[in-house]
Chains A and B, each alone.
Chain A
Amino acid sequence: MHIRKALITAAGKNQRTLPLQSLVDRDGVTKTALAIIVEEILRAGIEQIGVVISPGDEAAYRVAAGSHATALTFIEQTAPLGYAHAIHSAAEFCGSDAFLLLVGDHLYLSTAAKGCAQQLMDIARTENCAVSAVQSTHESKLPYYGAVGGQLVNAAQRLYQIEAVLEKPTPTEAEQKLDVPGLRAGYYLCFFGMHVLTPGVQRILGELLTEARGHEQTVHFRAALARLAEQERYLACELDGRRYDFGVKYGLLTAQLALALSGRDRDEVLRGLVELLATK
């Protein structure tokens, strides 16, 4: 599988300004979140990056992307019709290629030598199928994420065959449908916010959006993924790394701390923290 393209979604109602926030990266340089994400993608060998935005946001995003702006293609989501619709807005951009999909309000921090995007793409290439990155997540966090259920394929690689996909399931539903052997009780595989998808997904999204037209119902991305699991081999993989959602309360702060503590200025930040603790 050849993966040349990546898609970042940043058109969500409460999401639009998040990629524009400034953070200090591991190397001590102040960048926008968007720039950090783009750099990670480029490091992984992606050639074209599409960013789905709300109409009118392009200028701000160009500024935020800095020197990488030229590598970006901006795609406007014409109406606020949800996440699935946003992805499908980039159908033309994706064409008949497999693509890496990321959300603009997450920061991915690898604990291995390779970046998270790189890890995921390597697996997708080896397995030659769609792969979603997942993270074992406590059930109390279920209201915030999509989650998958399935069977373990390869324990060493922490690779799973996906059989069910649910969006923000209740724990009751999760227990019944998303039980995965090998996880601790009360933990489920929740989406990491990063996927490598086949062109089949754009096709399925197109079908679902057509079916829903005139029914006043929102198409959920998970429905497309669930259909994908029925039609193609579709895997989930736990990566060596963590995601930080800066859309939640103190999310940006946590993301910044995580970045700083894994980077060059670790000692300085730690000192600052200790001082803070000592005076409190």
Chain B
Amino acid sequence: MSPGLIDLIVSPDDATRNRSLDDFCAAASFPALLAECEALEAFRHRSENLYERVRALFFLAAIHRFHLPAKAELPAGGQIPFQGYEHLLHRRFEEAIEIFTTAQKTQGASDALSSALAAAYHRLAFQTLADQVRRSVRTVRGNQWMFRMGHPKDQPLRVRRELLTPTADGSYPILRELTPVRMDLTHSAWSDIFFLGMDYPEGAKVLNVSVDLGVHGRDSQPQPPVSAWLRVIEEPVLRLVSVDLNARADISNLAEVFDFAKDYLGLLKAAVIAAGIVPPGIEGSGQSLADLLAEMLGPGRGLELVSSVNDIPKGSRLAVSTNLLAALIGVCMRATGQAESLTGPLRESERRLVLARALLGEWIGGSGGGWQDSGGVWPGIKLIEGRAAEAGDPEHGISRGRLMPTHHVFTRDEISSEARQRLQDSLVLVHGGMAQNVGPILEMVTEKYLLRSAAEWQGRQEALGILGEILEGLRNNDIARVGAATTRNFQGPIQTIIPWASTYYTERLIEQVRAEFGTDFWGFWMLGGMSGGGMGFMFTPSRKAEAQERLQAIMSATKRELQNALPFAMEPVVYDFAINENGTFADLLAGADALMPSGYYTLTVPELIRQDRRTLSSLRRTELDKFAAACRTKPELRGMVQTLFDAMFPRGKSDAGNESLAALLEENGFDAKQHEQIRAHLREGRIGLAQNRLPANAAIEDVRSEDVVDLSAKTDQKLADLGLASLRAGEVAVVTLAAGAGSRWTQGAGVVKALHPFAKLGGRHRTFLETHLAKSRRISRLAGTSIPHVFTTSYLTHGPTSDFLGQHGNYGYDGPLHLSRGKSVGLRMIPTERDLRFAWEEMSQQMLDEQQQKVRESLRTALIGWARGAGEAGDYTDNLPLQCLHPVGHWFELPNLLRNGTLAALLAERPQLRTLVLHNIDTLGADVDPTLLGQHLQSGACLSFEVITRRLEDRGGGLARVNGRPRLVEGLAMPHEEAEFALTYYNTLTTWIDVDRLLEAFGLTRADFAPNANADEKITTAIRNLAAKMPTYITLKDVKKRWGHGQEDIFPVTQFEKLWGDMSALPEIDSRFLVVPRRRGQQLKDQAQLDGWLRDGSAAYVESLCAWK
């Protein structure tokens, strides 16, 4: 056995096993690392221990992602076999690894192959872990039988007699489960992630508190926010109702129960399945739901299940949805006798069963939380801990820890009533308004844990110490100490492990609260996976009321300030809360009290009233009478009449939205004629995703070495001097493309990417805007002449960017700074079914794991239904006006400079202007590099495009010889995907532009931009003529629609665009291609890239290009 990395995995000695991979690799030579990879690969195949295999996989992923590329001996470039990529997409990871390693043996190691291997190992590692958690969830005793059951006659559950016996008025009683949510006092460095708990049970600990909640100023007092209601009905259906999501359905066939994304009832469906009412084993059996219900309830009967979360917004980090799932499962388990307690609190054994089922439900629904999330099921304050697997456990011999943690509920002797009261009196709970996906963060935590990165490991140990301190504070009734500890936790271990847990917004809030409350502010406390949503602020009890008012004001003001920069889902709220000492609790409502929550009636009554009373069943009639009587007598139903009236006669939809959309279109140069033409072409099938592609007979080959100039590794003083001279002479300006909405960056949230404070550089959060200016500042100083910097903007980004620069005094940039406002805009369209099917069925897709794939397919069917129903190729107008418009591609951005006077202004300032450097907002490494400038000048080219060697993640075209001529080809235009994998270079979009030669290509001269040239018409015509030569691409983009309380839906919409890289296809333009270092050319498209970007030295590289002041 090699004495190397395998020892870090298998050593019985803790110190060796916990040694960091980074330290080992930094000291190892390139050949030694390759040898380690080979040894690890062999080891993972022979090891029978799951966690040894997983650690080996993570080691291999990290070596290929970070450590091999850091060695100078690893050749840049290289080609990735397409077949391997296809295996990756289909989740055949082992096959992909096999192909990539074989290629490595034949081609030799390369940066490209390492990127592919890194991705494959990384995904296989997570897949292996996820499979293990799922296997454990299935093998928990009490869950297994549900997977064996495949026929209604085999259904062993029976609904309890108490629920099947109607009361005197003929109605069935309602079983109601009221469940608190949970807050996590310690946040022990995400130690409740299953993978961690199961590998490091002794480090998995959290202090978890069950709380009742109310929205401050809205609700009179805190109450258990989550409730689930169940009753027998006399129809053989499952009637599911979500009061908060305004959704209900009568389900009459089994297949629909397993169709999770069809409507908003996925969580209720998952609960019904996980509770065994419709056991998972019966999926796909083709049997009848009515028969299954008859077995449990008697013929002709069904069940109604209703959920409500009292309008608590999404993203609260209080595990609302997991606790709702637990409440729904709890009520179903009580009803079917699986919990002995029909009413009242649950016993410990029953709570554990609900937890096991909630885990199963989360898996079935394709979601996944931490193991502490169902904490609301337990009462009061408890310590939840991982537990080592012992003989007899299904996990024994597979993982070190059990799937399910243990719960110790603290007694009043351990944490006094006074301490509990004091905690309530000092803590202000809020929802900051941001609703973010914490999935990537949880993956990062798992990976770092398994790699034992030194800082991460240290942080984890520190966090465990902080837990002890918080517990001590509670035991000694010292809440100020608790506050100090949670703050230290947030600022220390949490951010050491995951810097992205903090946001600029959070830090601004803390700063302001501290400034205002001084020492009366006891501390900050992050809830859940990351900050920005649910958060806690602790104060001297005497100032709590004031703090609640002030926090609301501070959050609202800060949100207004940052709403274009960060993805806010809702207006911030302050909660009232109280510790819930019951845990989940059920009661049986019978007779006159057997009423569902009021929201249920808002949802159902209007339709019932519209029906002829005689056609209603007697049960329904009785219920309506009872509800009507209750409306007259019960104070909590006051105002119901008005609510119902509003629901039945909705106020006419305001025209304001439509008007502002029309005005926006008008204002931003919308071309209605072109829009109608595109629509007609789309409907006729003349354009579309399939038609974006170059003809199938186009010969696409990789470029030859003479087609590029490789400046990725060498320095050339002569070129640098030439460039520097031009810079000194003031001949260069920078154009940063900042018109796009960065839809991948925030999954279509419509914020301005340029303004996003995306990472801490030079000690604090920086926006893209500030970073690009800091690079120009450094070069300006180097050259002794300030560089004019232009940011192109669009309808979406112009106002916010202009305001932001104003607020921040142009970040102190002393060179000329211009915004070039976009002059073209499109109106999004509803996609055609043909394009949706092409995108989802014809193009290579990343398969998800089994259960998630099922959810995705069901969602896609729903979206195709939506497109058909809403009208294919119709205008997309059902959203905020700004979300209905789209930018028309970056090709237009340079012509916009010509049209909107920016070029004229630049030329007026700098008549000597000769070169423009154009780059994308997310190309953080791009600056006015003197050597590259020298190369561009020396070549005499019109356009010099920068390209980089390709990695697996660089999808979307590249540099190719098309029918013998080198040019950039967009991914959309690739006749078949495989062709892209033969290309060595990827397009960075960064372009050096010779101003005069470009104008010439347009048929213009500098004279047309002179102050009194009056050449507007000429310029417009010139642009239109050139535009006509550019291909128009049809694309599908995701757009978010927000509704309710922090809810979001994502819709695919059709838009068109023209792209800048296609300029290289014009024969009249002299285009050249420069190979630049990867760090210069790589783009940050997705927030999930940030951590790797920080770890692989890219962030440090960007910092080295910047002068912040």
Q: Which residues of A are interface residues toward B (Cβ below 8 A)?
A: 138-143, 170-176, 179, 185-186
Contact = CB atoms under 8 A, between A and B. Distances in A.
Given A140-B154, A140-B156, A170-B156, A175 B338 contact: no
Contact of B158 (A141, A143, A173, A186): A143
Contact of A170 (B141, B143, B153, B157): B157
B145 interface: yes
Contacts of A143: 156-158
B149 interface: yes
Contacts of B155: 140
Secondary structure call for the B interface: loop
A25 B1018 CA distance: 111
B702 to A, nearest CB: 57
* Residue in B145, B156, B157, B353 with the greatest tally of chain A CB atoms within 10 Å: B156
A218 to B, nearest CB: 13
A170 B154 contact: no
Given A140-B156, A143-B158, 17 more contacts: A139-B145, A139-B156, A170-B157, A170-B337, A171-B146, A171-B157, A172-B276, A172-B333, A172-B353, A173-B142, A173-B338, A174-B145, A175-B145, A176-B142, A179-B141, A185-B148, A186-B145
Please give me the 5 A-B residue pairs with the lowest Cβ-Cβ distance, nearest first: A140-B154, A171-B145, A172-B142, A172-B338, A176-B141
Interface in B331-350: 333, 336-338
Interface in B744-788: none
B149 A170 contact: no
Contacts of B337: 170
B476 interface: no
A171 B141 contact: no
A175 B146 CA distance: 11
Contacts, number: 49
Contact of A141 (B145, B156, B338, B353): B156
Secondary structure call for the A interface: helix
A179 to B, nearest CB: 7
A176 B339 CA distance: 13
A170 B148 contact: no
A206 B237 CA distance: 46
A179 B142 CA distance: 10
A175 B156 contact: no
A138 B154 contact: yes
Contacts of B333: 172
Contacts of B149: 139-140
B354 to A, nearest CB: 11
Nearest to B275: A172
A172 B154 contact: no
Contacts of A170: 156-157, 336-338
A221 to B, nearest CB: 18
Interface in B128-172: 141-146, 148-149, 153-158
24 contacts: A139-B154, A140-B156, A141-B156, A142-B156, A143-B157, A170-B337, A170-B338, A171-B145, A171-B146, A171-B157, A172-B142, A172-B143, A172-B145, A172-B276, A172-B338, A173-B142, A173-B338, A175-B141, A175-B142, A175-B143, A176-B142, A176-B353, A179-B141, A186-B145
A138 B338 CA distance: 18
Contacts of B154: 138-140
Given A140-B156, A142-B156, A172-B276, A185 B338 contact: no
A139 B146 CA distance: 10
Nearest to A140: B154
A143 B161 CA distance: 13
Contacts of B144: 175, 185
Nearest to B352: A176
B358 to A, nearest CB: 14
A170 B279 CA distance: 13
A185 B336 CA distance: 22
A141 B353 CA distance: 22
Nearest to A170: B338
Nearest to B357: A172
Contacts of B142: 172-173, 175-176
A141 B156 CA distance: 6
A130 B516 CA distance: 77
A116 B156 CA distance: 28
Contacts of A172: 142-143, 145, 276, 333, 338, 353
Nearest to B144: A175
Contacts of B156: 139-143, 170-171
Contacts of B157: 143, 170-171
A172 B277 CA distance: 12
Contacts of A139: 145, 148-149, 154, 156
Contacts of A171: 145-146, 156-157, 276
Contacts of A173: 142, 338
Contacts of B353: 172, 176
Contacts of B153: 140
A111 B146 CA distance: 33
A141 B146 CA distance: 14
A185 B153 CA distance: 18
Contacts of B143: 172, 175
